[in-house]
Chain A
């Protein structure tokens, strides 16, 4: 408990404060402070704030992925160069050349992993704040910036008759299962897993290069595509409704974010890039990344003709003079 909680403490403070601030704002705007909808809206806005703040991190991650991709041909060349040279010194030389390559492309093996590490504490903090309300309420404690009264209000509030602290599993096992909890939880679990599945599916069907699609990791990726939603679906029956709201909201954000990136900034060499270039061609724009190379070729003959026409009368005039 100790070490992990201490690490998460500042993040939990931030997250709980934002939740508290939105709850306060919506209450001042005339919403019922103890209504589940006020808390639901606060959770959704909390997700919006956190995910907006994390956009630069996401951009960095995309850039790192692109750099790693740009590096692949060089890396393969290097592997071919050292093929069969298994002695220690050759291996060291290969590592040295690899490091130079990473330096040239201004990336490193960890750069696409670092942004994920930065996001982790925020998501953990969010999860623990929303997941621990029942425990904190029982102990009469607050969570971060939320006072014990806030925690109690959050925990007792409900949407469609399902309390934000209720879980699917608990209501099933309680002897008198609440139909509304079961329905709300199931809808949220389906929405949560579906949005995750669609996010992953659109990456795999559109935003991967042919090479990656035929690569050795594809089989694992395909398995993950079906296993991850299953894991979250099964885990979901044990999550309080409040956590399910957060998870669905954040997954929907991810879905939208991925859709935007795939549409406007697809991976070079992917199906999505082909589609983007078709859309650009329909608008009369050159393919992505060829702005300068393509434009003069199209414009050149148009400019060249009037020039020759203009020069001819000039020459005649000069000759006459």
Chain B
């Protein structure tokens, strides 16, 4: 009974604590909308650094997400070979159908190669 009036407070607090994350998400989305198209198809990695950052911040929060994103930017240099490099999974979960779009876009199902499928059928 004593705990009940306190219930809304943690929710409000949680929302307040979420402000940095939401702010970063907004900034990243704006960057991706305005600046990313200017560069075109130049990234060594998939997802691109900005997509990686957006997912990292969305999944891991402002602090850890920013750290992960910074580390990713550092890994993209003239001597790296790039490739697929996903954000490590986090603890946040979303209800069915409410998964952030960036999560969907960064993890596309890769269809099997036709010749690989043929080989499997033959074997």
| Chain A residues within CB distance 8 Å of chain B | 77, 81, 88-90, 92-93, 95-100, 102-103, 106-111, 114
Contacts and interface: CB of A to CB of B under 8 A. Distances in A.
Contacts of B83: 99-100, 102-103
B111 A99 contact: no
B78 A114 contact: yes
A93 B111 contact: yes
Main secondary structure of the interface of B (DSSP, over half): loop
B110 interface: yes
Contact of A100 (B84, B104, B114): B84
B108 interface: yes
Contacts of A111: 78
B113 interface: yes
Residue of A77, A81, A99, A106 with highest tally of chain B CB at under 10 A: A99
30 contacts: A77-B113, A81-B111, A81-B113, A88-B105, A89-B104, A89-B105, A89-B109, A90-B108, A92-B105, A92-B106, A93-B110, A95-B41, A96-B47, A96-B108, A96-B110, A97-B110, A98-B46, A99-B43, A99-B44, A99-B45, A99-B82, A99-B83, A99-B84, A100-B83, A102-B83, A103-B81, A108-B82, A109-B41, A109-B42, A114-B78
B81 A102 contact: yes
Nearest to A102: B82
A96 B46 contact: yes
Nearest to A108: B44
A123 B17 CA distance: 53
A231 to B, nearest CB: 26
Contact of A103 (B42, B47, B82, B104): B82
Contacts of B84: 96, 99-100, 103
- Which 10 pairs show the lowest CB-CB distances between chains A and B? A103-B83, A93-B108, A99-B46, A92-B108, A96-B46, A103-B81, A108-B44, A89-B108, A93-B110, A106-B81
Contact of A95 (B46, B78, B114): B46
Interface of B: 41-47, 78, 81-84, 104-106, 108-111, 113-114
Given A99-B44, A99-B46, A102-B44, A93 B81 contact: no
Contacts of B110: 93, 96-97
B81 A108 contact: yes
Contacts of A77: 113
A237 B46 CA distance: 49
Given A81-B111, A103-B84, 11 more contacts: A88-B105, A90-B111, A92-B108, A98-B46, A99-B43, A99-B45, A99-B46, A100-B83, A100-B84, A103-B82, A106-B81
Of the listed residues A89, A96, A111, the one surrounded by the most CB atoms of chain B closer than 10 A to its CB is A96
Contacts of A102: 44, 81-83
A171 B59 CA distance: 69
B101 to A, nearest CB: 9
A93 B84 CA distance: 10
Contacts of B44: 99, 102-103, 108
A96 B111 CA distance: 11
Contacts of B45: 99
| Most A-side CB within 10 Å, residue of B44, B47, B106, B114 | B44
Contacts of A107: 81
Contacts of A93: 108-111
A77 B110 CA distance: 15
Contacts of B111: 81, 90, 93
Contacts of A88: 105
A127 B65 CA distance: 46
A313 B66 CA distance: 80
Nearest to B111: A93
A107 B43 CA distance: 11
A95 B105 CA distance: 11
Contacts of A109: 41-42
B42 A110 contact: yes
A108 B109 CA distance: 23
